[in-house]
Structure 1
Amino acid sequence: MHTKVALVTGASSGIGQTTALKLKSLGFTVYAAARRVERMQMLADAGIVALEMDVTNDASMQAGIQEIVSRSGRIDVLVNNAGYGSYGAVEDVSLDEARAQFDVNVFGAVRLIQLALPHMRAQRSGTIVNITSMGGKIHTPLGAWYHGTKFALEAISDCLRMEVQPFGIDVVVIEPGGIKTEWAGIAADKLLDVSGSTSYASQARAMAESMIGDASRKRQSPPELIADTITKAVTARRPKTRYAVGFGAKPMILLRRLLSDRAFDRFMRKATGISGQSS
């Protein structure tokens, strides 16, 4: 039996960091990738290989996969966790920022899949884990580009799953709900920077508060919950195709399925506090 080899992106904090540590504790050889390698010293101290990788830079990704294969001879698990939330009104968000959101959340993940697949096909096994969000199944105000990337990654994962099944490769989607990480604060700051002084300012302020206010933070789930779910999926003989976990994930996805578009719009406007806001 060989030691399984895993690559986890976005590993400098939150879900990625916790997942890397969890996989290491289970005996995996773990490569943790992020742009800020200095933030992964704790992982390096735990025996995890820290890779400097920018998922918007093709040479960086190629070098990372090559290093993994050169050092370990294989790659068994790819966890595409790198991502961020770009919020702001569609009217306000520049197309350069929109492209950047897709570059990180979609094209970076897909390029790593392309680079890992030849090795997984050769060994006739592997698991690709794409971290989407409950935001890949629902929509929230002022989050068009973020949700667009998550909807896209959900669809790509479904198509990919059928393509690689004959080669013994599994594709798993993880759909987190509200999680205690840096994500919400970064998304809220970006939202206020983009739309905090435009015609959508009052909506932006309400939405930002719904992201980072005390009421929201108290209900968020710990990143360990997502790490445990990822490890459950990659160690299962036959993993589920999707795992919706964390605060609000299952009920929100179910609610979206049950409600009409306009009924869900009304619910979401009220839940985020933007109901009646226009300027």
Structure 2
Amino acid sequence: MVKTVLVTGASAGIGKATAIYLAQNGYNVYGAARRIEKMQDLKTSGIKPISLDLSKEESLVACVNQIIKEAGSIDILINNAGSGYYGALEDMPISDAKYQLEVNVFAVARLIQLVLPIMRKNNYGKIVNISSVGGKVTLPMGVWYHASKFAIEGLSDALRKEVKSFGIDVIVIEPGGTKSEMTGLGTEYLNRVSGNTAYTHLAKGVSKMYAETAKNASDPIVIAKLIKEGIEANNPKTRYVGASGAKLMLFLRKLLSDKMFDKLVMSQMK
């Protein structure tokens, strides 16, 4: 039986690559994003674009209801969409921090709430939460982004225990450096809010590091293949790690003390 998948953030990057890859492999895919005009080309792959504003309750509900009405169920939810604002905690408006948490955490939780009843009814479901290496390790100027991804890690671990008996798997994906427009947008925001403050020097260092990371970033298809591996496993791993630098960073984080790891990170900011 063909499985129905909802992929959020399908207008670019990992979301777009995942939607296309899964559609090519026989899934019934709905690609959701706020910028629906950027998803029209997905139709050629048999993907159904659907409008979704993660900051609006009515949009979240309408999206899920439409898919269940048309397809009968949502078998796999891939929470990929996210916001990547960077800036010193002192400089960033709390309103922007709240928006980032709204999109990266609360919208994820709300979509899960909305799909769980149909998954429990079917005694089957795969919930894939796209975290980040940044859900385990931190960089300066990424305070709220890291807070949101650390939250996704904890949310997923607790949820996995709650829903396992209903035949539902919760899978965390931790990408490293991946080609995405988020890095450019995040750096632009960083320079706007912290580029001319007490944190100017650090902002320049972080921007330089992100530029270097972008040069070596992996193609999003790497993550799309990890997601497919996870959702097709009878007993999936709780976490899948991939893309540029991911495994090395997580290994070093385990190996080094907090202060040693801090020194390593800050040495890259010069």
Which bracket does the TM-score occupy, shorter chain normalised?
A: over 0.9
* C-alpha displacement of 1:183: 1.5
Report whether the alignment pairs 1:189 with 2:188. Answer: yes
* C-alpha displacement of 1:247: 0.8
Report whether the alignment pairs 1:24 with 2:34. Answer: no
Report whether the alignment pairs 1:99 with 2:102. Answer: no
Q: 1:217 — aligned with what?
A: 214
Q: 2:200 — aligned with what?
A: 201
Q: 1:246 — aligned with what?
A: 243
Report whether the alignment pairs 1:157 with 2:182. Answer: no
Identity between Structure 1 and Structure 2 (%): 47
* C-alpha displacement of 1:272: 2.9
Out of 150-159 and 252-261, give the one that drifted further: 252-261
Q: 2:72 — aligned with what?
A: 73
Q: Which amino acid aligns with 1:143?
A: G
Runs (4 or more) in structure 1 with deviation over 3 Å come to none
Structure 1 unaligned regions, length at least 5: 274-279
* C-alpha displacement of 1:94: 1.0
Look up the SS of the partner of 1:272 in the other structure.
coil
Q: Cα RMSD over matched residues?
A: 0.8
Distance 2:66 2:159 in 1: 25
Matches within 5 A, 1:97-136: 97-136=96-135
The TM-score with structure 2 as length reference comes to 0.98
Q: How many residues align?
A: 270
Report whether the alignment pairs 1:266 with 2:233. Answer: no
Contact 2:139/2:265 (8 A) holds in 1: yes
Distance 2:122 2:255 in 1: 42
After superposition, the C-alpha distances for 1:175-226 in whole angstroms (9 at most, x for unaligned) are 00001111211111111011001000111011011112xx323321110000
The TM-score with structure 1 as length reference comes to 0.95
Look up the SS of the partner of 1:71 in the other structure.
helix
* C-alpha displacement of 1:42: 1.0
Out of 101-110 and 250-259, give the one that drifted further: 250-259
Distance 1:85 1:211 in 2: 12
Look up the SS of the partner of 1:225 in the other structure.
helix
Distance 2:190 2:171 in 1: 30
Structure 2 unaligned regions, length at least 5: none
* C-alpha displacement of 1:271: 1.7
